[in-house]
């Protein structure tokens, strides 16, 4: 799920924009650590549920690392742009299998406000899951839900490998309206670790 909303963290100037770019290598390390945390806690999920879209990839990799092939997804819709959300999240795609009486590991990439994760937890309870544990790579300190398993707390906008294009487009769309030079925006994106070729390609597609 695209993310990160806290009002006081919304940058109005390009120089104030804080992005934390996470590499695939870091993702692999995060997920190895996350799998170890879960297994060391003695929690054995019967089903792993990824929250689409951000939780798809982490859930699939955890499924492999934990040797649990019972994998499902649920889709929520909340974010519509950089720091822009709908009033409340909604479930737009339900589970394809039953979780009744089962222990569920609910996985997402990041928890920001926590509203989407809270909604899915309630949804799983209504589906009569016996136990629900949550796991995320990162979470924000202001979230209304603290994950049971998490690797990192951060207050910055995290850019995962699976949402780079979305983030780059949102940055261009937000900051070009604030009279920023396009080259300055590109330099900012490069300075935080995003690939110059990807930046130029995405900007070219937008124009």
The rounded mean pLDDT for the chain is 90
Query: What is the Cα–Cα distance from 48 to 134, expressed in whole angstroms?
Result: 10
Residue 8 lies in a domain: no
In a domain, 175, yes or no: no
Report yes or no on 36 lying in a domain. Answer: yes
Residue pair 116/1 in contact (Cβ under 8 Å)? The answer is yes
For 46-89, give the DSSP string: SEEEEEETTTHHHHHHHHHHTT---EEEEEEEEEEETTEEEEEE
User: Which range, of 16-30, 131-145, 178-192, averages the lowest pLDDT?
Assistant: 178-192
Domain range enclosing 112:
23-153
| pTM score of the predicted model | 0.87
Question: Residue 161: helix, strand or coil by DSSP?
Answer: helix
Give the HSE-up count for residue 58: Cα atoms under 13 Å, Cβ half-sphere.
34
CATH code assigned at 108: 3.40.50.2020
What angle in degrees, to the nearest 10, is found between the helix axes of 196-206 and 182-191? Answer: 150
The pLDDT tens digits of the residues spanning 17-62 come to: 899 999 999 999 999 999 999 999 999 999 999 999 999 999 999 9
């Amino acid at each position: 799920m695209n993310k990160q909303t806290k009002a006081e963290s919304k940058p109005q100037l390009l120089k104030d924009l804080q992005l934390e770019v996470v590499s695939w290598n870091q993702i692999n390390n995060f997920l190895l650590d996350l799998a170890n945390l879960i297994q060391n806690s003695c929690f054995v999920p019967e089903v792993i549920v990824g929250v689409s879209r951000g939780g798809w990839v982490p859930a699939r990799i955890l499924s492999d690392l934990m040797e649990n092939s019972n994998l499902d997804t649920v889709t929520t819709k909340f974010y519509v742009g950089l720091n822009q959300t709908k009033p409340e999240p909604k479930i737009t795609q339900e589970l394809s299998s039953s979780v009744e009486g089962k222990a569920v590991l609910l996985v997402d990439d990041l928890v920001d406000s926590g509203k989407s994760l809270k909604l899915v937890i309630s949804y799983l309870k209504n589906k009569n899951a016996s136990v629900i544990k949550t796991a995320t790579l990162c979470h924000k300190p202001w979230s209304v839900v603290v994950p049971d398993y998490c690797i990192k707390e951060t207050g910055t906008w995290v850019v995962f490998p699976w949402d780079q294009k979305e983030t780059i487009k949102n940055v261009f769309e937000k900051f070009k309206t604030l009279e920023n030079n396009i080259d300055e925006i590109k330099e900012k994106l490069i300075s935080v670790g995003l690939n110059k070729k990807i930046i130029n390609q995405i900007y070219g597609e937008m124009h």
